[in-house]
Structure formats: structure tokens, C-alpha cells
Structure 1
Amino acid sequence: PCRVILSGGQPYLVRVYLGHWRGWRLYVHRFLVPDGERWLHDHPFDGLAVVLCGGYIEEVLPALGAEPRGFRRRWFNWIPQRKLHRISSVQPGTWTLFVNGPHSKRWGFLEPIETEDGSVSWLYHNP
């Protein structure tokens, strides 16, 4: 089946479910826009995205207290479940083959919080 995933009430991703095997699921994704939320997030599963056409920029937090770094993804992207990231830019016509493993935790979000002295702290939460 095909689903349109919304973010902020707007179409974000077209997802086509292809099947599953031993807890692993296979999808084709068509990215319409970057991730809608400004927060970095992690996934409840390990995953692999193979870029079929197009590409995207992924912001990744290498360590707590570090600044997010941008990486251009044109071929593939390994996404372990604790990788804090977000897609910040998408080329038009970007399609990926996405495989994810079994769920072993909840989604996590890293919220930036500005402190009184102007620096930024981070709050990690699982809604």
C-alpha cells in the first residue's frame, strides 16, 4: 500500500510498502520536502536508505555538545537507531529504497533549549 506522510499538515513523504521478512521491512520513499521538525531525531530501529535517484543533505549530531554536521547523501545512508539526525535539504525527485529492522525502542527527539546566558542546551525526550 501507498501512504502520504504529513509533517506540519503538509505532504512530506510518499511511502510504498513492499513487504517484510524476519522483522525487517522494505519501502520505497519519495521525498517531497525536508524533515518538517527543526529538532534532530533518532529512530526506534536500525535502517538503511539506498538512494535510487536525487539526493539529500542529512544533519547529524556527532556527539552531545557538538554542532550538527551536514552530509550529502547520494548513494546510501546507514541509520543506526541512536543516530541523531534530520534531513535538512532534498533534491527534487529524490527516491530511496529503505529497509528497517525490528522496533526496539520509541522515537527520540533532541530539543534545543536556549539558556539564560544565550548558550544552547539539549533536551532528549521520547514522547
Structure 2
Amino acid sequence: MIQKAASALITWARQRKPDFVVGGVEQPYLLRWFLIPRNPVFNVYLHCFLRDDDDRALHDHPWPWCSILLSGGYIEHTIAAGGIHRRRERSAPSIKLSGPRRAHRIELLKIRDFVASQPGNDTPISCWTLFITGPRLRTWGFHCPERGWVDWREFTDPNDKGMTGPGCGDQSAERQA
């Protein structure tokens, strides 16, 4: 039943334009559909990940959140207390609950992970999530290796909040969005 509902939701989304595109129209990173009118208390989004999160920094969120993986899979990178890196593979169906301040990064699975005859094929496999947020409790940002926490407005492009800008302050800001 859950898979049938997930398939119906994904089919619905594919028939209309996303409400927000992250990473630019030419090479989008994430497509977002608003499933209920946006409001300050509770939001529900459908996300289609097309590329990995920027690999220069983990990011956090401004609210408590729940992500339900509907289709596909990904590797989630987190940092535990003491700076210990954790890497966990998630596949549909999967549920993740988290609070603000918890930094993570999404890395999509690649074709090479599933097709033995294509060990060097780094083509990402898209995945779909239902993303539910609570009320905004703080601003959000990126956890840069050298600078520490960086507000999202400094990390992203000031002219297009869907694009990466200066990032962590390095010179490779155009690498990913």
C-alpha cells in the first residue's frame, strides 16, 4: 500500500513542473514540489534528488524534520560527537527523523554500485523523498571544514538562492550546487 501511494505521488509530480529547483535549471540538484501551502508551522514537500549534495560541507536544517525515502536510495554522511564521520546507506522504504543543527550530506547511489560491468560509471541514480518539517527554530547553514558553521546566505549565490555561491570560501564554488 505504501509503495502504491509513493508511486502515485511520484507519477503526479512528473506531470507538472516543480515549485522550486535547486542547483539551476540546466543541471538541477533537487526538484521540490509543495504538497501543502507553505506556512510557518508545518510543511510537506516532495523531493527528487538528481545529484549529490555539495561535497565541501555538510548542512543542517532550521527545523525538526522527517524524511521518508519513497524510491531509490542514498548514502547519508553525518558527523558524530567528537568529529567521527559516519556513512549510512538508506534505501526505500526508509524513515529518518532529525532535529535542527544535525549536519548531514546526501550522496546518491551510482550506477557502478549496481552494475558490475560498469565499475567506473559515476552516473547518479535519482531518489524521491517525502520531506516533512516542523516550525523554523533557527537559521540553517553549512559546516565547513576550515571555517566552521557558515550561514546559508553566505554559502549560496546571493542572486539565486538555488545555486551555490562562495561556499566555504574556496575557489571551487562552481563545482556543485
TM-score range, shorter chain: 0.7 to 0.9
Partner of 1:44: 62
Q: Which protein is bigger by CA-based radius of gyration? A: 2
Match of 2:104 among 76, 85, 109: 85
Residue 44 (structure 2) pairs with residue 19 (structure 1): no
Mark the runs of 5 or more structure 2 residues left unpaired by the alignment: 1-17, 111-124, 155-177
Q: Hey, which of these two has a bigger chunk of strand by percent?
A: 1
Deviation at 1:84, TM superposition (A): 1.1
Q: Hey, which of these two has a bigger chunk of helix by percent?
A: 2
Counterpart Cα distance in 2 of 1:5 and 1:109? 16
Using structure 1 for the length normalisation, give the TM-score: 0.80
Residue 150 (structure 2) pairs with residue 125 (structure 1): yes
Letter in 2 for 1:98: F
| Cα gap change, 1:25 to 1:90, in 2 (>3 Å) | farther
Match of 2:127 among 91, 94, 103: 94
Letter in 1 for 2:61: H
Using structure 2 for the length normalisation, give the TM-score: 0.59
Which structure has more relative contact order (CA 8 Å, sep 6+)? It is: 1
Letter in 1 for 2:88: F
Counterpart Cα distance in 2 of 1:14 and 1:32? 8
| Residues 31, 90 of structure 1: 8 Å contact kept | no
| Cα gap change, 1:22 to 1:84, in 2 (>3 Å) | closer
Deviation at 1:61, TM superposition (A): 0.6
Partner of 1:28: 46
Count of residues in correspondence between the two structures: 117
Letter in 2 for 1:125: V
Counterpart Cα distance in 2 of 1:58 and 1:112? 17
| Residues 36, 43 of structure 2: 8 Å contact kept | yes
Counterpart Cα distance in 2 of 1:5 and 1:124? 21
